[in-house]
Amino acid sequence: MRHLEPLVVLFLLPMLIGIGSELWLRNARTASLVATLGAIVAVCLYLLLRDPGGAWNALAAFLVLPLPIAFALAAVLACHGRARRRHRQPEP
């Protein structure tokens, strides 16, 4: 099961964080901020706990972080739904 860890950390965990933050907060702006910070903290904590020897350094984590952030934000936006378009009022 060790070969599935990257899939869980880079895809599944950020998606769950994004869905959870949207369901908990119900505001797209706040939920996206919480999901972004949650994905960063989750990946960094995972790397610290799973790799105490330090084979992964901060640069490697920095290069990997955009992927989980993107999945967390996509989950928030997918749960929030499409934004309503503002229609212009017809001029009299």
Structure tokens at 26: 């119900």
- Residue with the larger pLDDT of the pair 41 and 88: 41
Which H or E run contains 16? helix 13-25
Give percent of the chain above pLDDT 90. 42
CA distance 12 to 17: 9
Res 69 pLDDT > 80: yes
Res 83 pLDDT > 50: no
Average pLDDT over residues 41-65: 83
The per-residue pLDDT for 84 is 47
The domain ranges of the chain are 2-80
pLDDT digits (tens, 9 = 90+) for 2-33: 788 888 889 999 999 999 999 999 888 999 99
CA distance 45 to 38: 10
Per-residue DSSP letter, 46: H
Backbone angles phi, psi at 69, to 5 degrees: -65, -45
